[in-house]
Amino acid sequence: MKKFLKKIKLPLFFTTLSGTTKLIIGMAAGILVVMGIAFALAKSIPSSKQTNLASGEASFDQSEYVLQGEVQTETVTKTAKRAGAGNVKIVELVKPEYTAPAYISTTKTTASSGTEIPDYMPSAQKQGSGTTVDTSSKSSSSSSSSKSSSSSSTSTASTTASTTPTTTRQTTSTSSGSSTNSTASHTHSYSKETTKKATCTTAGQYTFRCSCGATYTEEIPKLGHTWSKWTTSKEATCAAKGKEKRTCSVCNEEETRETDKLAHTWGEYEVTTAATCTKEGVKTRTCSVCKEKQTASIAKIDHTWGDVDVLVEPTCYSEGSGTHTCTVCGTTENVVLEMVSHTWDGWIIDDPATCEEAGYRHHFCKVCNKEAGEEIEALGHDWSNWITQAATCTADGYRTRNCERCGIVQNEVLPMFGHDEETTEETVSATCTTEGSHDTIIRCTICGTEISRTTTVLPALGHTYVNGTCIRCGAEEPTDP
């Protein structure tokens, strides 16, 4: 330390200070030197660098910047040169469907006029999936924007296609020991351009550009083919599949597909090999179009058996056996002979049947003495003819008969008919001197009985004299004596 102080030739009064005081002053000078070196290094930051803010963390020293909100996106950094000033770092932030914040630099750069201006990072982003901002190719535009912000607090840009969130820049100026803060804003205004047309099979691209140099792109979905109707390029047959094709009217791409074979047109089956009793036959049919042949089997025919050679005679209690031989192929088979019927004696009546109750009977086989019985059905009555007393309109009738086998009698009532009513009208005209009548009569059409009569009396008409004579009956008008 003493050697260092001698080299820098401090004033004489410094040598009179105590050792401790000299040590403190020396350390303060060292700190000032380190701060100067750090300041020089800060101004020598490279003009272009990449910063990763994917998780809110930056590869640069975040102590230089003030975090405005939460950053979860990539950044693209570029530098712009301002006349009379140091390099100004501009960091563009991009995040799909999210208004990205910005880091604002607190590091000052002094212009030639002595005014301090800060480095800053304006935000520029397009909301939406798949958006990319490119600011690397517009350094001159960014420089111009930086100049404009130092002289005015707010600038407004016209919108031609779409507008994104505002870019904010802070500046600090110092004059006569005082400081003044101002804020400048820029709203992106994008123009839209088709930079790649979409086709039937590939996607296209829109490019959006702002006057400040920020850009982003959007994908144009592929168009898909515009197909014509299917047309036949090769007719199907019963031997081969056909083909159809269709063509895109835009790009002329062609698509093909197969069509099913047609059904064969078969003729009638013809016997190729006749069937026998020992071997199946073969029949064949042919397609009249492609001449393809198809075969099918014919079932064996039955043997032609000769007479049975009886080996064991059948009885009424056991089967017999024998053999028979095919007269065509000579095949011999064993034959089971069914049992013969019993030879029954006459019926023995155990319980005779009556008109209303069943009976029972049994008999025996003369050969094997087997007994068999059965029920005798009831005989039913043997009825005589009906004796009938007819019913009338007012009285029931009846009929009766009896069984000539068992003598039982059966009676039945025949219900009376009831009258069949008919209404008639009878009138007796009144005369000059006698009354008349009008009768309403109800009679039975079956038995003729008068059921009811209603009589209305018609009064006598009296004489009507004209010239001394009644005009109705001709009687002379009487004269007084």
Q: Please tell me whether residues 89 and 26 are part of one structural domain.
A: no
Q: Please tell me whether residues 68 and 180 are part of one structural domain.
A: yes
The last residue of one of the domains, among 181, 205, 220, is 220
The last residue of one of the domains, among 220, 249, 281, is 220
**What is the arithmetic mean of pLDDT over 77-84?**
36
Of 117-121, 220-224, 284-288, give the lowest mean pLDDT range: 117-121
- The 3-state secondary structure of the chain reads CHHHHHHHCCCHHHHCCCHHHHHHHHHHHHHHHHHHHHHHHHHCCCCCCEEEECCCCCCCCHHHEEECCCCCEEEEEEEEECCCCCEEEEEEEECCCCCCCCEEECCEEECCCCCEEECCCCCCCCCCCCCCCCCCCCHHHHHHHHHHHHHCCCCCCCCCCEEEEEEEEEEEEEECCEEEEEEEEEEEEEEEEEEECCCCCCCEEEEEEECCCCEEEEEECCCCCCECCCEEEECCCCCCCEEEEEEECCCCCEEEEEECCCCCCECCCEEEECCCCCCCEEEEEEECCCCCEEEEEECCCCCCECCCEEEECCCCCCCEEEEEEECCCCCEEEEEECCCCCCECCCEEEECCCCCCCEEEEEEECCCCCEEEEEECCCCCCECCCEEECCCCCCCEEEEEEECCCCCEEEEEECCCCCCEEEEEEEECCCCCCCEEEEEEEEECCCCCEEEEEEEEECCCCCCEECCEECCCCCECCCCC
Q: Please tell me whether residues 109 and 147 are part of one structural domain.
A: yes
**Tens-digit pLDDT profile for residues 203-215:** 999 999 999 999 9
- pLDDT above 50: residue 122: no
Residue 199 falls within a domain, yes or no? yes
Q: Please tell me whether residues 90 and 191 are part of one structural domain.
A: yes
Question: CB burial class (10 A; 0-12, 13-18, 19+) of residue 409?
Answer: exposed
Residue 411 falls within a domain, yes or no? yes
Q: What is the average pLDDT value for the chain, to the nearest integer? A: 74
Phi, psi of 38 (to 5 degrees): -60, -40
**Tens-digit pLDDT profile for residues 226-239:** 999 999 999 999 98
Q: Please tell me whether residues 99 and 29 are part of one structural domain.
A: no
**Tens-digit pLDDT profile for residues 288-304:** 999 999 999 999 999 99
- The share of the chain scoring above pLDDT 70, in percent, equals 66
pLDDT at 379: 93
pLDDT at 16: 58
- pLDDT above 60: residue 12: no
- pLDDT above 50: residue 164: no
Q: Please tell me whether residues 89 and 186 are part of one structural domain.
A: yes
Task: State how far the Cα of 269 lies from the Cα of 168, in Å rounded to an integer.
Answer: 95
**What is the arithmetic mean of pLDDT over 277-293?**
93
Q: Please tell me whether residues 23 and 145 are part of one structural domain.
A: no
Q: Could you give the number of structural domains in the chain?
A: 4
Q: Please tell me whether residues 30 and 124 are part of one structural domain.
A: no
Q: Please tell me whether residues 114 and 185 are part of one structural domain.
A: yes
Of 147-156, 171-180, 381-390, give the lowest mean pLDDT range: 147-156
11 lies in which domain range?
2-39
- Cα angle 344, 347, 350; round to 5: 140
**Tens-digit pLDDT profile for residues 329-367:** 999 999 999 999 999 999 999 999 999 999 999 999 999
Residue 309 falls within a domain, yes or no? no
Q: Please tell me whether residues 425 and 455 are part of one structural domain.
A: yes
Residue 42: which pLDDT band, with cuts at 50, 70 and 90?
low
Distances (CA, A) of 4 to 16, 17, 34, 35: 16, 15, 16, 19
Higher pLDDT, 140 or 282: 282
Residue 360 falls within a domain, yes or no? no
Residue 366 falls within a domain, yes or no? no
Residue 31 falls within a domain, yes or no? yes
**What is the arithmetic mean of pLDDT over 430-453?**
90
**What is the arithmetic mean of pLDDT over 414-432?**
91
Is the separation of the CB atoms in 206 and 220 below 8 Å? yes
Task: State how far the Cα of 173 lies from the Cα of 178, in Å rounded to an integer.
Answer: 8
pLDDT at 28: 85
Is the separation of the CB atoms in 37 and 19 below 8 Å? no
pLDDT at 184: 55
Task: State how far the Cα of 360 lies from the Cα of 392, in Å rounded to an integer.
Answer: 48
Q: Please tell me whether residues 214 and 83 are part of one structural domain.
A: yes
Q: Please tell me whether residues 68 and 210 are part of one structural domain.
A: yes
Q: What share of the chain is helix, strand, coil (3-state, %, to 5)?
A: 10, 40, 50
Across 8-17, 83-92, 261-270, the highest mean pLDDT is recorded for: 261-270
C-alpha dihedral sign at 262, 267, 272, 275: positive
Residue 358 falls within a domain, yes or no? no
Our measurement of the distance from residue 172's CA atom to the centroid of its chain's CA atoms, rounded to an integer in Å, reads 67
pLDDT at 123: 36
Residue 105 falls within a domain, yes or no? yes
